[in-house]
């Protein structure tokens, strides 16, 4: 990634300045594949109503909105986990106060990486994708990743899910009407590289999909997952927790939200999950 790509966008720089002049605790939200930072808008308002100041960085070159993203899906191609982690770090390091951070899906891996670098006062990883050292790969997770992994050429492409693929991987725990609404409102293409990186992380000692877990500057962490998640099932979240709980310096907690799928941060039950994150931060940060 070029130095220019590491530089936050004008909108992100404005959020950083707003956070730095607010005198409040920043909360940084990190999205995963197939979503944009706008997927956190309701969360940002919720946390700001609770006394935080929100920062919602995108991934490098993310379009401004879903409509623009669908006009040019190829813009998402070629972004690796290391690229995105460096970009998020460039945002966080501009904050005057170490933030609490929340990430979903591959964002759940990214926030673990950032926490391992000492950049988080506390962290919540929601439905995290598998990282190095996390061994379970349930069949549902493999099926959900198949739109990318079924063709090696997809590694360097932008992958757009069909509605049926989105329904299985994201929206399996909501009804048909809500699933269609979520697909229309939120879904965009995603880079193929992170999926291949996660799939091969445990046979690649130099994988970018790994996080330092035992450092004295990691901060408290909660790993949270929906019980019915297909994209990143509870077996992956549990294994992530088992790795992270080896940190003896800070609390590490694990939670399962009954009856929820991978759309846990964007569907009609999002506020319950946001409240769980808020309670964790109030207790630990």
Q: How far is CA 13 from CA 9, 22, 89, 284, in A?
A: 6, 14, 13, 28
Kindly state the tokens that stand for 111: 């926030």
CATH code for the domain defined by 3-284: 3.40.50.1820
- Please answer whether residues 170 and 182 qualify as being in contact, where contact means their C-beta atoms are separated by less than 8 angstroms: yes
This prediction has a pTM of 0.95
CA 101 to chain centre: 10
Q: Render each residue's pLDDT in the chain as its tens digit; 285 residues.
A: 433 357 899 999 999 999 999 999 999 999 999 999 999 999 999 999 999 999 999 999 999 999 999 999 999 999 999 999 999 999 999 999 999 999 999 999 999 999 999 999 999 999 999 999 998 888 999 899 999 999 999 999 999 999 999 999 999 999 999 999 999 999 999 999 999 999 899 998 889 999 999 999 999 999 999 999 999 999 999 999 999 999 999 999 999 999 999 999 999 999 999 999 999 999 998
Contact yes or no for 222/253 (Cβ under 8 A): yes
In this structure, what are the phi and psi dihedrals at residue 218, rounded to the nearest 5 degrees?
A: -70, -35
Helix (H) or strand (E) holding 125: strand 122-126
Domain chopping of the chain, boundaries: 3-284
């Amino acid at each position: 990634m070029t130095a220019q790509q590491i530089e936050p966008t004008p909108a992100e720089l404005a959020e950083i300045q707003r956070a730095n002049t607010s005198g409040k605790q920043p909360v940084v939200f990190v999205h995963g594949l197939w979503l944009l930072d706008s997927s956190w808008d309701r969360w940002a308002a919720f946390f700001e109503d609770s006394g935080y100041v929100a920062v919602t960085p995108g991934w490098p070159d993310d379009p401004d909105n879903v409509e623009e993203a669908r006009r040019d899906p190829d813009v998402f191609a070629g972004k690796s986990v290391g690229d995105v982690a460096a970009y998020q770090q460039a945002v966080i390091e501009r904050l005057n106060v170490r933030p609490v951070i929340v990430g979903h899906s591959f964002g759940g891996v990214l926030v673990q990486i950032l926490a391992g670098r000492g950049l988080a006062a506390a962290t919540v990883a929601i439905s995290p994708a598998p990282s190095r050292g996390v061994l379970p790969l349930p069949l549902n997770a493999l099926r959900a990743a198949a739109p990318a992994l079924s063709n090696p050429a997809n590694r360097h492409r932008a992958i757009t899910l069909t509605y049926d693929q989105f329904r299985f991987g994201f929206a399996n725990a909501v009804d048909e009407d809500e699933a269609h609404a979520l697909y229309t409102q939120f879904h965009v293409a995603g880079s193929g590289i992170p999926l291949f990186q996660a799939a091969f992380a445990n046979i690649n000692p130099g994988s970018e999909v790994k996080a330092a877990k035992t450092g004295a500057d990691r901060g408290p962490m909660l790993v949270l997952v929906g019980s019915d998640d297909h994209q990143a099932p509870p077996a992956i979240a549990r294994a992530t927790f088992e790795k992270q709980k080896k940190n003896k310096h800070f609390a590490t907690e694990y939670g399962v939200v009954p009856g929820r799928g991978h759309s846990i941060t964007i569907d009609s039950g999002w506020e319950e999950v946001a409240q769980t994150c808020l309670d964790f931060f109030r207790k630990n940060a």
